Amino acid sequence: MKIAIASGKGGTGKTTIATNLASTISHFGMKVQYLDCDAEELNGHIFLKPKIESSEDVTVGVPEVDQEKCTGCGKCGQLCQYSAITCVKGKVLVFEELCHSCGGCMAICPEDAIIEKQRKIGVAEFGKSNGIDFGHGKLNIGAIQTPALIRYVKKKAIDDGLTILDVPPGTSCPVIEAIKGSDFVLLVTEPTPFGLNDLELAVGMVRELKLPFAVAINRSDIGDDAVAKYCQKENIEVQLEIPNDRTVAEAYSRGIMMVDVLPEYKEKFLNLWEQIRSQKAVK
């Protein structure tokens, strides 16, 4: 089973819930894997402190032009939607960092003058953390192909246990790539106008993808009840509420997990897992 922990906005406590859920499930003896897909802002490793056992370069295909064969017709530049390849005064220039590896320019070139070469966009690291299989993808600074890196990391999802995917915030392409193929999505939010606004967007996204989902409200006793009312109106199950707690905040700032400072939270996360497993949530 694959559970995606997502949120419409950053800073809602998505990683807190993902790591504590993984830790709790592992504590109770189940095989669990945590994959941090928030490639532009990795922080799951800060809490899980994995021992990294392998590191793999992640590359994507980008065009390389054989200037000998090129006639300067300009068709490649006309096709590219990202201005990653352009023909100036009969000479083709490639801006690899803008390329989305669609392969269009290679397909259209009438002279077969474009070949594909590999460009490194980041690394995927895998290891162990207290019985949890750990993985994350680190995007190189300036690289934009986050979905390709997420795809690579997700290929390592285990078949015979539970995989928890820590999804990037928002509703853009990397988020879709991360939650695609999940069995369940938990949307983490907070009870503020911003939290509600971004939750509505995230709900629209998971409904479009027809994935079962529910909501978790972090710092549930701050702000107002607009998120709770919205969930009630939309018939969305709220499966977890975490009140604001100074002990949790202090532990977070030191990279310590909630279940390690407040062991009673293990029961809450176990209960969350049971709810998800029973698939009570609505589509």
Which parts of this chain interact with ligand SF4 (CB under 6 A)? 63, 65, 70-76, 79-80, 82, 84-85, 87, 92, 99-105, 109, 111, 113-114
Nearer to ligand SF4, 92 or 231 (CB): 92
Q: Closer CB to ligand SF4, residue 21 or residue 65?
A: 65
CA 82 to chain centre: 23
Contact 34, 22 (CB under 8 A): yes
Taking the least distance from each CB to ligand SF4, the nearer of 27 and 100 is 100
Nearest CA-CA partner of 139 in 58, 72, 35, 246: 58
End-to-end CA distance of the chain: 17
Cβ-based nearer residue to ligand SF4, 85 or 185: 85
DSSP characters over 120-167: EEEEEEEEEETTEEEEEEEEPTT---HHHHHHHHHTT--SSSEEEEEP
Using CA of residue 136, residue 49, residue 169, residue 243, what is the dihedral sign? positive
Which CB sits closer to ligand SF4, 63 or 195? 63
Helix (H) or strand (E) holding 15: helix 14-27
Smallest distance from the beta carbon of 272 to ligand SF4, in angstroms? 41
CB half-sphere exposure, 30, CA atoms < 13 A: 20
Q: Which CB sits closer to ligand SF4, 118 or 247?
A: 118
For residues 128 and 138, give the distance between their C-alpha atoms in angstroms, rounded to a whole number: 17
Tell me the closest approach of the beta carbon of residue 65 to ligand SF4, in angstroms.
5
CB of 117 to ligand SF4, least distance (A): 11
CA–CA separation, 92 and 59 (whole Å)? 23
What residues pair up with 117 in beta bridges, in sequence order?
Answer: 62
* 103/161 with CB nearer ligand SF4: 103
Extract the tokens encoding 204. Answer: 């629209």
Query: Taking the complex as a whole, how short is the minimal distance between the CB of residue 173 and ligand SF4, in angstroms?
Result: 14
In the bound state with ligand SF4, the residue whose beta carbon lies nearer, of 87 and 276, is 87
Can you tell me the distance from the alpha carbon of 271 to that of 127, in angstroms, rounded to the nearest whole number? 27
Helix (H, G, I), strand (E, B) or coil at 99: coil
Question: Please, what is the minimum distance in Å from the beta carbon of residue 70 to ligand SF4?
Answer: 3
Shortest CB 138 distance to ligand SF4, Å: 22
Q: How far is the CB of 89 from ligand SF4 (least distance, A)?
A: 11
- Smallest gap from residue 244 Cβ to ligand SF4 (A): 45
